[in-house]
């Protein structure tokens, strides 16, 4: 590391609130599936800004769309319509199969809106304000108070005391644990179809179907958090579409804007007509022309380039290479995940493996202390997978 990079890191540690244990790298620019630090060192990126950069870096078509919008108007507020938001909402409805869209600035904000819609739905049904939500253990929905309330990891919630929702936690893929928590106050069940931070656990078709049937019987809303597993990452535009089990409310973000800070929560027409109305929810920046120009371009490129088809072509190759590591190293106990959202489970902490790989030009991320998570740009090739394995395997062998 150069003295200049170290000086920048030292300055950042003086100025920024220390809520992240950052890797000791100052990134400067990216191109394709590679990132470069301020010293010019090159890194193969299998993190993609935490599943954000579907097209990789320095995608000219995407960049030009944002530049064009900057020259028109960046922000107007939601007191007015704007053309990019109208276009983006229509396109998002089409690919998601949902009926109504509310644009947010992030995935956590999308979860907040989804929870508010569910609580309002319950309130309009019986006039009560003490409704409950069932969430899943090991889930992760965000750091804001509402999203944190439904995050199924006590470590994240404990320092902040009483949460803002009445939440009970069940186990993913254990329907009995869900059914046992249902009362006449239950307004919603929320889950990730594929858990990200919580360990790359995939919800089974049987579990999703039983939860859907339960919600239909009891007039409970089913909420799917697709912030990380959505946008083509699992081989379907949204992970629930693999089984055709549609939620009442869905959240999306990350690759929705491919770097532009944007998210959304979507709902069926039934929920839209029986939940939030004017004055119930809002955002200053959400749905602004710049963010929605990004969304519209991303969705247009996804369809034209057939990103989902590419994911389904390359994912089996990644899986086979990761399975090869599982079979070769006793310290790896298994592989979990779907599509280009994969995890290797170790019998020990993976921090040093990730550090060694990064020292050798490969960026990875963990999911908990014992899992290496692979969420690369969706444009990766078999050659990129081979290059990743060539760096990762020696790092594993050193442990």
Phi-psi region of 53 (alpha: psi -120 to 50; beta: other; left: phi over 0): beta
**pLDDT confidence of residue 204:** 98
| Cβ neighbours around 318 below 10 Å, total | 24
CA 91 to chain centre: 19
pLDDT digits (tens, 9 = 90+) for 322-358: 999 999 999 999 999 999 999 999 999 999 999 999 9
**pLDDT confidence of residue 83:** 97
Q: Which residue in 323, 344, 341 sits closest to 234, CA to CA?
A: 341
SS3 278: coil
**pLDDT confidence of residue 109:** 97
**pLDDT confidence of residue 164:** 81
**pLDDT confidence of residue 399:** 78
**pLDDT confidence of residue 205:** 98
Give the mean pLDDT of 268-291.
96
Q: Which residue in 205, 293, 239, 241 sits closest to 51, CA to CA?
A: 239
Of 1-10, 45-54, 107-116, 161-170, minimum mean pLDDT range: 161-170
Helix ranges (H only) for the chain are 3-15, 48-51, 60-70, 83-96, 107-126, 145-149, 154-157, 175-179, 205-218, 269-272, 289-305, 307-328, 351-359, 382-397
pLDDT band per the 50, 70, 90 thresholds, residue 277: very high
Contacts of 119 by beta carbon, 8 Å cutoff, 6+ apart: 129, 131, 165, 187, 188
Cα four-point dihedral sign 85, 88, 90, 96: negative
Q: Two tokens at 345?
A: 């489970």
Q: Which residue in 64, 96, 61 sits closest to 305, CA to CA?
A: 61
Q: Two tokens at 235?
A: 């081989």
The whole-angstrom separation of Cα 231 and Cα 22 is: 26
Please give the residue that has the higher pLDDT: either 124 or 158.
124
Q: Which residue in 145, 141, 115 sits closest to 276, CA to CA?
A: 115
Contacts of 352 by beta carbon, 8 Å cutoff, 6+ apart: 399
State the fold for domain 3-58+306-397. 3.90.1150
Residue count (the chain): 399
**Does the structure show a pLDDT above 90 at 96?**
yes
Whether the Cβ atoms of residue 142 and residue 290 lie closer than 8 Å to each other: no
**pLDDT confidence of residue 1:** 87
**pLDDT confidence of residue 348:** 95
**pLDDT confidence of residue 176:** 98
Q: What end-to-end distance do the CA atoms of the chain give, in Å? A: 24
Whether the Cβ atoms of residue 347 and residue 356 lie closer than 8 Å to each other: no
**Architecture of the CATH domain 72-305:** 3-Layer(aba) Sandwich (3.40)
The domain limits of the chain are 3-58+306-397, 72-305
pLDDT digits (tens, 9 = 90+) for 236-265: 999 999 999 999 999 999 999 999 999 999
The whole-angstrom separation of Cα 115 and Cα 109 is: 10
Average pLDDT, the chain: 96
Give the mean pLDDT of 50-75.
97
Give the mean pLDDT of 26-37.
97
**Does the structure show a pLDDT above 90 at 72?**
yes
pTM of the model: 0.96
φ, ψ (nearest 5 deg) of residue 167: -120, 140
**pLDDT confidence of residue 302:** 98
Give the mean pLDDT of 81-88.
98
pLDDT band per the 50, 70, 90 thresholds, residue 161: confident
pLDDT band per the 50, 70, 90 thresholds, residue 162: confident
pLDDT digits (tens, 9 = 90+) for 305-320: 999 999 999 999 999 9
């Amino acid at each position: 590391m150069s003295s200049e990079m170290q000086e920048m890191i030292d300055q950042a540690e003086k100025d920024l609130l220390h809520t992240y244990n950052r890797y000791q790298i100052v990134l400067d620019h990216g191109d394709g599936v590679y990132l470069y630090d301020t010293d010019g060192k090159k890194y193969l990126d299998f993190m993609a800004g935490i599943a954000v950069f579907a097209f990789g870096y320095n995608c000219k078509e995407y960049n030009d769309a944002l530049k064009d919008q900057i020259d028109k108007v960046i922000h107007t507020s939601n007191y007015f319509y704007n053309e990019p938001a109208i276009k983006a909402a229509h396109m998002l409805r089409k690919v998601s199969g949902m009926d109504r869209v509310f644009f947010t600035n992030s995935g956590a904000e999308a979860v907040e809106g989804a929870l508010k819609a569910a609580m309002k739905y319950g309130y309009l049904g019986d006039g009560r304000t003490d409704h409950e939500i069932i969430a899943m253990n090991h889930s992760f929905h965000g750091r804001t108070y509402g999203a944190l309330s439904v995050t199924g990891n006590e470590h994240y919630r404990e320092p902040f005391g009483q949460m803002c929702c009445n939440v009970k936690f069940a186990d993913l893929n254990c329907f009995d644990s869900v059914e046992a928590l249902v009362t006449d106050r239950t307004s919603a069940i929320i889950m990730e179809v594929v858990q990200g931070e919580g360990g790359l656990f995939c919800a089974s078709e049987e579990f999703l179907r039983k939860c859907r049937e339960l919600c239909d019987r009891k007039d409970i809303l089913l909420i799917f958090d697709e912030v990380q597993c959505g946008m083509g990452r699992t081989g379907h535009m949204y992970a629930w579409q693999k089984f055709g089990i549609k939620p009442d409310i869905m959240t999306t973000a990350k690759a929705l804007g491919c770097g532009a800070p944007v998210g959304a929560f979507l709902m069926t027409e039934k929920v839209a007509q029986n939940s939030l109305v004017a004055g119930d929810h809002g955002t200053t920046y959400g749905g602004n022309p710049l963010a929605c120009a990004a969304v519209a371009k991303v969705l247009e490129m996804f369809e034209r380039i057939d990103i989902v088809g590419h994911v389904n072509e390359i994912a089996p190759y990644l899986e086979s290479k990761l399975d090869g590591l599982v079979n070769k190293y006793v310290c790896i106990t298994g592989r979990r995940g779907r599509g280009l959202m994969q995890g290797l489970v170790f019998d020990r902490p993976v921090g040093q493996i990730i550090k060694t790989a990064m020292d050798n030009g490969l960026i990875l991320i963990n999911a908990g202390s014992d899992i290496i998570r692979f969420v690369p740009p969706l444009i990766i090739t078999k050659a990129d997978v081979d290059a990743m394995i060539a760096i990762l395997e020696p790092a594993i062998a050193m442990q």
